Amino acid sequence: MPDALVIMFVPFIACLTLVGIHGYFGIHVLKREIIFIDIAMAQIAALGGTISMILPVEVTTAWGIVSYTAHGGGTIAYLFSLVLVTIAAAVFTYLKSEKLYVSLEALIGITFAVATTGAVILIDVGAGGDVHVHDMLVGSILWVKWSQVLKSFIVYSMIGAFHYRFRHKFLSISEDYQKAKEKGINVRLWDFLFYFTLGIVVIHSVAIGGILVVFSFLIIPASISVLFSQNWSTRIMIAWIGGTIVTMLGLYFSWKIDVPSGPSVILFLGVFLFLALIVKALNIFGTSEKNVPGQSASGDVSE
Amino acid sequence: MLETIIFLLPPITACVLLAGILGYFGNHILTRGIIFIDIALAQIVALGTMIGLLMGFAEESISVQLVSLVFTLVIVSIFALTKFEKQRIPQEAIIGIIYGLGLGLAMSLAEHIPRGSNFIAKTITGNVLWVTWDNVLWCFVIFSVIGVIHIFSGKYFIQISNSKDSLPFSIGKVRLFELLFYFTFSIVIVKAVPIGGVFLVFTLLIAPTSIATIFTQRWVWRFIWSWIIGIIGSVIGIYISYNLDISNGPAIVCLMGIFVFILAFAKIIFGRSKVLKGVTN
């Protein structure tokens, strides 16, 4: 048992930071119905990493110019990812328009497909493809390092504080895009900032947990919380508490019967959602009064 | 030149067939806003195949395909039957959850199947270049049967797709047609993904209809334009990939995907939405 604690402590803390930021973002994403934005962003960031792997990037050092190829987590790869994510955020912001009659989710999907297959084409040109694709999906949360967790935690805290400071803007837009526009909010600017911050979060999260774990932490706790409340703070609390419990169970289970920890956590999230659906169907908490489906609790925004 | 054409004829025919059936379904998928249904379904199909392999059937045998199909139909029934009058969790989120859980399970199982993770990677790209005439013929037969079903019940499907917040007829009737819709769609995905790979199928489904929808909102024209765009796009994609010696599926995906973005930008910059609005439906 102490062994489990030692091995699982860092992954556990890592998962908690993921739960923290994604439990919050998930509610936005669900409201805006851009479910797959995070997978698309992750893939774009990965494309940045792939490009940096293929281009031999020249780095000037004190000893002159050396040819430098970034591998996965290098600074150059990070910069490439950041640039691509920024571009994507700008494109998504620009393409949200009634003129198109095509939902943003469709364009996000196409972005996802192009980024993935683009990476496949590039990897074909480069080398070591298969492994890379697999690693990106699964991640290796078991082997995550303290430094990584700390770095992500700092980044998430900054983004979290930013979102808290300007919560009225972000929440208003997610609740009702049109109304926010009429209220005089610069929707373009705040949309861009939303995608941009989400993109940065995703870059860090995927490095820790892999695309799939991150996606699950984003969508499933938010889906559970919408079953029981329309209030933002309540939903965030439900997502956080649920996410924490699931993480503990998932990691313990994965250690106990020796299955990969990422998939284990995801499956427990699924189980948890299933239980939530049953609880909801049986109406155990008797919460039917204020949960009128589809009615947005706009009053919460000003809390 | 002639040899090239003969060599490329099966993949081109396959792509034309895929573009035809997926271009049709894509319009429904886009209108319903369940964009990622095909990626989730493909994952379920792959998971079903892995379950079949674990049960001891040979890879690519009829038994494995049957197991996979049954498994997929069960999941799809759950999805079709969870359509409610008021949707608390958006259907797209349910799709996301199905995808996440499907892939999570597949990855847990992959450890127990020889070359398991390789198997996940394979569904990503597919290989339309090596499709056999036999396979193409099967696709033609199956897609035709599904096409006929949709000719007869198409107008109900359109009514359901068009109604976002209300049901066009009783919940029972809606669910019946939903089952029919998703069953036929699953069969198409089961056939299409091994040939084209998840992303080619996804792109043929979403990209042509997106382009069409940017310019027209009438169902008939959307179908027609989706077919034209899908077929031309895939033929050009195969040709380019063959000449540049890159994988064909990814080439088509990138070509059509980038095309969508160019046209979307063009539409926003040059489009006159006010005038067009009068033409809607």
In CATH, what number is assigned to the domain containing residue A57? 1.10.3470.10
Nearest CA in chain A to B206: A106
Predicted pLDDT of residue A72? 44
- How close, in Å, is residue A264 to chain B by CA atoms? 8
pLDDT score at A161:
92
Asked if the Cβ–Cβ distance from A137 to B107 is below 8 Å, we say: yes
User: CA nearest A121: which of B8, B46, B131, B253?
Assistant: B253
Q: How far apart are the C-alpha atoms of A137 and A116, rounded to whole Å?
A: 12
Distance from CA of A31 to the nearest CA of B (A): 9
Say whether residue B125 is in contact with chain A using an 8 A CB cutoff.
Answer: yes
Per-residue pLDDT of A48-89, as tens digits, reads 877 877 766 544 443 333 333 334 456 777 888 889 999 999
Residues of B in contact with A113 (CB under 8 A): 199, 202-203, 206, 253, 257
pLDDT the model gives residue B23: 92
Tell me the angle at which helices B171-196 and B37-54 cross, rounded to the nearest 10 degrees: 70
CA distance B262 to chain A (A): 11
pLDDT band at B146 (very low <50, low <70, confident <90, very high): very high
Is the pLDDT at A293 greater than 50, yes or no? no
Contact B253, B203 (CB under 8 A): yes
Name the domain count of chain B. 1
User: Could A223 and B93 be called an inter-chain contact, meaning their C-beta atoms sit closer than 8 Å?
Assistant: yes
pLDDT score recorded for residue A301? 38
- B214-229 pLDDT tens trace: 888 888 889 999 999 9
Mean pLDDT (chain A, rounded): 79
Closest CB to A117 among B96, B121, B249: B249
Give whole-number Cα distances, A82 to A78, A88, A141, B173, in Å.
6, 10, 22, 49
pLDDT > 60? residue A290:
no
Interface test with B, best of A95, A96, A120, A213 (most B CBs within 10 A): A120
Interface test with B, best of A36, A94, A105, A110 (most B CBs within 10 A): A110
Contact B213 A101 (CB under 8 A): yes
Enclosing domain of residue B111:
2-277
CB A84 within 8 Å of CB A47? yes
Question: pLDDT tens across A194-246, in order?
Answer: 999 999 999 888 888 888 888 899 999 999 998 888 888 889 999 999 999 98
Residue of chain A whose Cα is closest to the Cα of B210: A102
d(CA A118, CA A115): 5
The pLDDT value given to residue A139 = 65
Task: Please report, rounded to a whole number, the percentage of residues in chain B having pLDDT higher than 70.
Answer: 89
DSSP designation for B57: P
Q: How far apart are CA B142 and CA B188, in angstroms?
A: 8
* B107:A35 CB<8 A: no
- Nearest-CA distance from A70 to chain B in Å? 23
**B162 pLDDT exceeds 90?**
no
Identify the pLDDT of residue A285.
62
Cβ–Cβ gap A263/B104 under 8 Å: yes
Binding-face residues of B in 60-89 toward A, CB within 8 A: 86-89
Nearest chain B residue to A221 by CA distance is B97
Token pair recorded at residue B24: 């049709």
* Binary contact (A109, B103; C-beta < 8 A): no
For residue B108, give the chain A residue with the closest CA. Answer: A263
Chain-centroid distance, C-alpha B189: 6
Determine the pLDDT at residue B246: 80
Q: Which residues of A touch B36 (CB under 8 A)?
A: 35-36, 105, 109
B37, B44, B78, B101: best to mutate for the A interface, most A CBs within 10 A: B101
For residue A300, pLDDT beyond 80: no
Residue B191, pLDDT > 90, answer: no
Give the per-residue pLDDT at B85: 61
Q: Return the pLDDT at A295.
A: 40
pLDDT, tens digit (0-9, with 9 covering 90-100), for A111-130: 988 988 887 777 765 554 45
Average pLDDT in chain B: 83
Q: What is the CATH number of the domain that holds B264?
A: 1.10.3470.10
Find the range with the poorest average confidence among A185-199, A208-222, B103-117, B193-207: B103-117
Residue-number span of the structural domain to which A214 is assigned:
2-302
Q: Which residues from chain A sit within 8 angstroms of residue B108, using beta carbons?
A: 259-260, 263-264, 267
Hey, are the CB atoms on B120 and A134 less than 8 Å from each other?
yes
Is there a contact between B35 and B90 (Cβ–Cβ < 8 Å)?
no
* pLDDT number for residue A67: 36
Question: What average pLDDT does range B53-80 have in this prediction?
Answer: 84
Alpha helices, DSSP H, located in chain A: 2-32, 37-54, 75-95, 104-125, 129-138, 146-165, 167-175, 177-182, 187-228, 232-257, 261-282
Least confident interval from A196-205, B81-90, B142-151 = B81-90
For residue B122, the model assigns a pLDDT of: 63
Find the mean pLDDT for residues B188-201. 85
Which of residues A74 and A104 earns the better pLDDT score? A104
SS3 A64: strand
Confidence of residue B2 (pLDDT cuts 50, 70, 90): confident
pLDDT in tens, A134-169: 556 666 677 788 888 888 899 999 999 998 998 888
For the segment B74-82, the average pLDDT, to the nearest whole number, is 85
| Cα angle for residues B1, B3, B4 (degrees, 5° grid) | 65
| A58 or B57, which is more confident | B57
Q: Name residue A67's beta-bridge partners.
A: A58
Domain count for chain A, please give it: 1
Interface touch A35/B36, C-beta < 8 Å: yes
Write down how long chain A is: 303
Of A249-263, B13-27, B121-135, the range with the lowest mean pLDDT is B121-135
Confidence of residue B273 (pLDDT cuts 50, 70, 90): low
ipTM of the complex: 0.86
Who contacts B137 (Cβ-Cβ below 8 Å, separation ≥6)?
none
Confidence of residue B210 (pLDDT cuts 50, 70, 90): very high
Q: What is the token pair recorded at A60?
A: 């000037």
> Which pLDDT score, from 0 to 100, does residue B193 have?
83
CA–CA separation, A108 and A93 (whole Å): 11
Cβ(A172)–Cβ(A246) below 8 Å: no
Enumerate the residues of chain A whose CB falls inside 8 A of the CB of residue B204.
Answer: none
Residue range B119-144: mean pLDDT, rounded: 80
Q: Which residues of B touch A101 (CB under 8 A)?
A: 213-214, 217
User: What percent of chain A shows pLDDT beyond 70?
Assistant: 80
Residue B69 DSSP label? H
Give chain A positions within 8 Å (CB) of B253. 113-114, 117
